[in-house]
Amino acid sequence: MKLSTRGRYGLKAMYQLAIHYGEGPIPLKNIADAQNLSENYLEQLFSSLRKNGLLNSVRGAQGGYMLARSPRDITVGSILRTLEGNLAPADCVIDGEYDCENEENCVTKLVWMRIRDSIDEVVDSITLQDMLDEYEYMKRKNKI
Amino acid sequence: MKLSTRGRYGLKAMYQLAIHYGEGPIPLKNIADAQNLSENYLEQLFSSLRKNGLLNSVRGAQGGYMLARSPRDITVGSILRTLEGNLAPADCVIDGEYDCENEENCVTKLVWMRIRDSIDEVVDSITLQDMLDEYEYMKRKNKI
DNA sequence: TGAATGTTGACAAAAATAGTAGGGTATAAT
DNA sequence: ATTATACCCTACTATTTTTGTCAACATTCA
């Protein structure tokens, strides 16, 4: 039930981009260095995020990546699903993914559905802006 | 974020035992056959569950496994954690498991904590008895 | 032009998962 | 006592997933 590094690195990277939202394109290298990640690996993650419409890219010198829209309009759920696939704990509760015979009478399926729904509710309710706000709040609390 | 077969098979098997709770020991073979699983593999899962106090076993002819206590007192969470380990989405939110520097200022950690808590709340609130009840409910609903 | 950057697809090492295999031990029925 | 039944334990292995690496290419800016 762990997230893979794709989701974990990816969310951190997107958060970094949120910090610099509005400052124009940020080179991949900056993000990779800040988090001590392989540039090549992060590139794969960003490629997925771009294809899913969460990032924009600018090629060439002074190019880089930036959020495709406001941090307020990007949820943690959209990021994690892009990188990890559906967050359901079992394939049988992903719509159209898989059909088990005996579906009618499967009680464990109800359990997986409830887990799935609770995860979805959490991740879809948190935006990058919320994370920025939480950081400000933590900073103030720790300083005092 | 998928559960492995350990958790999925294991919960189904425990549910089977819950159905037959009070009928004395049920042979592993019965459960394995009913779910079309390898006897040897299921044995590994049952071994973990027994060591964690969720199952009792009776050796010898007419022996088998049975729930260590009432279905009402066995949660889905205790089963899944036994078989899958902690259900947290990242190691940094498992108590005493892992320390990242920068913990103070890590905002993504807050996200992982909220996911963890919501999963825990769901799985710890469902017992095997709840599953039995849900099945009865489904059966009535589908028949009418 | 040349240096900085993103784009793409193929490849590969490492780790985790999902079992298999088989011998050993305890118990109960006969 | 013997035998069948069934749990117990350890080691092994094939497969899949994860976690990257690498190389060649395209685009832009100075």
% chain B with pLDDT above 70: 98
Q: Which residues pair with A66 in a beta bridge?
A: A56
Residue A33 domain boundaries: 5-142
Residues A92-119, mean pLDDT to the nearest whole number: 88
- Can you tell me which residue has its alpha carbon closest to the C1' of nucleotide C9? A44
Cα separation, B110 vs B101, in Å, equals 15
What pLDDT does residue B142 have? Answer: 84
Give me B27's structure tokens. 């042979």
Q: Which nucleotides of D are covered by protein (CB under 7 A)?
A: 4-11, 17-23, 26-30
Average the pLDDT over A126-137 and give the result. 97
pLDDT at position A28 is: 97
Cross-chain residue pair B8–A115, CB shorter than 8 Å: no
Q: What's the Cα-to-Cα distance from A75 to each of A10, A54, A78, B2, rounded to whole Å?
A: 13, 10, 5, 21
> Cα A40 to the chain's mean position, in Å?
18
Return the minimum-mean-pLDDT range out of B4-8, B44-48, B85-89, B91-95: B91-95
List pLDDT tens digits, range A29-82.
999 999 899 999 999 999 999 999 999 999 999 999 999 999 999 999 999 999
pLDDT of residue A2: 97
Q: Whose CA is nearest the C1' atom of nucleotide D17? A: A4
Higher pLDDT: A104 or B141? It is B141
CATH of the domain at B14: 1.10.10.10
What are the φ and ψ backbone dihedral angles of B117, each rounded to 5 degrees? Answer: -65, -35
pLDDT digits (tens, 9 = 90+) for B14-29: 999 999 999 999 999 9
The Cα B13–Cα B28 span in angstroms is: 10
Name the token pair of B128: 């095997």
Residue B95 has pLDDT above 90, yes or no: no
Which pTM value belongs to this model?
Answer: 0.96
Angstrom distance (rounded) from CA B55 to CA B30: 16
Number of domains in chain A: 1
**pLDDT at residue A113, rounded to an integer:** 97
Confirm if B64 and B29 have CB atoms less than 8 A apart: no
- As beta bridge partners, residue A55 has A67
Q: What average pLDDT does this structure show over A5-12?
A: 97
Instruction: Round to whole Å and give the CA distance between A18 and A89.
Output: 29
As a whole-number percent, the residues of chain B with pLDDT over 90 amount to 85
**By 3-state DSSP, what share of chain A in percent is helix, strand and coil, each rounded to 5?**
60, 10, 30
